[in-house]
Structure 1
Amino acid sequence: MVEANTARRIDERVFFQRDRRADGGARRIRVTRDDVLISRRYSGVSMVITVPVTAYCGVALEVQPADDGSPRYVLSLAHRDPDLDILLGDTQDCGAAASDWRHWAAWLGLPRVTEEDGALRSLEGAGEAIAAASPRRRCETSLGKRRPRFLFRRKAGDSRRTKVVHGDEREIISYE
C-alpha cells in the first residue's frame, strides 16, 4: 500500500500560485497526467475546479524581458480561458527552459506551443495556429451511424401508404 501512495505522489505535482481574487492571494494547483485540480477560497467559500488535461491547448513557452533586460522564459500550461492557465516554471536559463518544456509536454502528452502575437503556434504542426483543443466526439465513429434498437422494426415513411384526410368533415361514431 505504501508503494502505491509513493507512485501516486510521483505522478502528481503540486504548485501554489498567486491569485488576486482568492482569499490570502493564493491558489493550490495539483497537476497529474489526467487532470488539473485548482482549489482556492473566495470570500470564505472553498472552490475546487477539476479540468482534464485534454482541455489544455499545450505546454507554452513565452520569452519576456526581465528587469535587467535579459530574456526570461515563462513555461505554462495554456488553456483557452486565461484564468485556467497554469504557470509551470520561470527561469532565465535557456537550456533549463527547453529541457523543462520537453519534459512537461512529454509527461502530459500535450504539444509544445509558443506564444507569438497573442496566438499559440505549435512546433509539431509546422507553425500552424492551434485551434481550440477539445476531445474527439463519439458521433464521428461508426457507432453514430447505427439506429437505436427500438427503431429497427420501424419502416421508413412512404407517401403512397399515407391515408386520405378529408378536411371540414365530421365523423359520426355509433356504438350499437
Structure 2
Amino acid sequence: MRRQTKTGGINSAGSSRVLRLDPLSLPVSFDAHDIRADGGVRSVELHRERVVLRRAVHGMRMAVNVRVRDFRGVALRDVNDAQMLVLAHRDPSLTIPLCVSSDPDEIATAWQMWSDIFALPQLHEDVREPAPRRRRHNAIRARRPKFLVRRRCGDLLNAANIHQGEREIIARN
C-alpha cells in the first residue's frame, strides 16, 4: 500500500505545487488548514469508505471518523483565480480539500474521478457568507402559566354533575 506525502500529492514537502491528491492511490494522508485546531493544522486520512480527521483543540487530541457516504458530494468552489474541489459535508468543519488548480480541464477530470471513486454526486458551490443566525421565537410565551397547568378544568354544566330531580342554581346579583 503506497502512501502520499503529508503535503498532498506525490511531491515533496518543499515543492511549490498546490494541493493535488491522486484519487487512484488511496488511502491518502495529508495535513489541512484548520483555524480551530492547535497550530492551525489537522491531519486527514482519506480512504475509499471513510475519512479520519485528527486534530488537537486546547490540548485535547481527538479523532473523528466519518463515512464517505455521509458527505453531500464532491463540490467545485471558485477561489480567487483558481478552482478547488472539496469533499463537501453538511458541517463545514468536516469539509475536506481535494484539489486546487487554475486549469479547467484538469479540474473537470479530477472532479469526475473523485465523484466516481466515492460514488457521490458532483456539486457546484459558490462560496458565500453564511446566513445570519435566526432568532428563535419565545416558546414559553405560548404556554399556560404553571399554576394553571396544575389545576383541572371543571365541568359545571356536565349532566353527570347534576343529580336527577335537582335544578341548577345560578346566583345573580
| TM-score normalised according to structure 2 size | 0.58
2:152 aligned residue = none
Q: Percent identity?
A: 34
| Residues paired across the two proteins, number | 108
The separation in 2 between residues aligned to 1:64 and 1:22, in whole angstroms, is 23
Q: Does 1:54 align with 2:69?
A: yes
> In structure 2, the residue corresponding to 1:99 is in which secondary structure?
helix
1:108 aligned residue = 118
> In structure 2, the residue corresponding to 1:51 is in which secondary structure?
strand
Structure in which a larger fraction of residues adopt helix:
1
Consecutive unaligned residues of structure 1, counting only runs of 5 or more, are 1-5, 67-71, 119-176
The separation in 1 between residues aligned to 2:87 and 2:109, in whole angstroms, is 15
Q: Deviations over 1:103-155 (max 9, x none)?
A: 1111111111111586xxxxxxxxxxxxxxxxxxxxxxxxxxxxxxxxxxxxx
The separation in 1 between residues aligned to 2:54 and 2:63, in whole angstroms, is 4
Task: Go from structure 1 to structure 2 and tell me whether the alpha carbon gap of 1:100 and 1:41 turns closer, same or farther (over 3 Å shift).
Answer: same
The separation in 1 between residues aligned to 2:3 and 2:37, in whole angstroms, is 28
Consecutive unaligned residues of structure 2, counting only runs of 5 or more, are 5-24, 129-173
> Which has the higher Rg, Structure 1 or Structure 2?
2
1:32 aligned residue = 47
The separation in 1 between residues aligned to 2:127 and 2:56, in whole angstroms, is 33
2:22 aligned residue = none
Runs of 4+ displaced beyond 2 Å: 7-11, 63-66
Task: Go from structure 1 to structure 2 and tell me whether the alpha carbon gap of 1:30 and 1:117 turns closer, same or farther (over 3 Å shift).
Answer: closer
The separation in 2 between residues aligned to 1:88 and 1:33, in whole angstroms, is 13
2:84 aligned residue = 74
Q: Deviations over 1:19-60 (max 9, x none)?
A: 111111100011111111000111222110001011101000
The separation in 2 between residues aligned to 1:45 and 1:87, in whole angstroms, is 24
User: Which one-letter code corresponds to 1:95 in the other structure?
Assistant: D
Tell me the CA shift for residue 90 of structure 1: 1.0
The separation in 2 between residues aligned to 1:77 and 1:112, in whole angstroms, is 10
User: Which one-letter code corresponds to 2:73 in the other structure?
Assistant: G
The separation in 2 between residues aligned to 1:96 and 1:108, in whole angstroms, is 18
| TM-score normalised according to structure 1 size | 0.57
2:143 aligned residue = none
User: Which one-letter code corresponds to 1:80 in the other structure?
Assistant: R
- Paired residue for 1:20, among 20, 28, 35? 35
Structure in which a larger fraction of residues adopt strand:
1
Let me know the Cα RMSD of the aligned residues.
2.0
1:65 aligned residue = 80
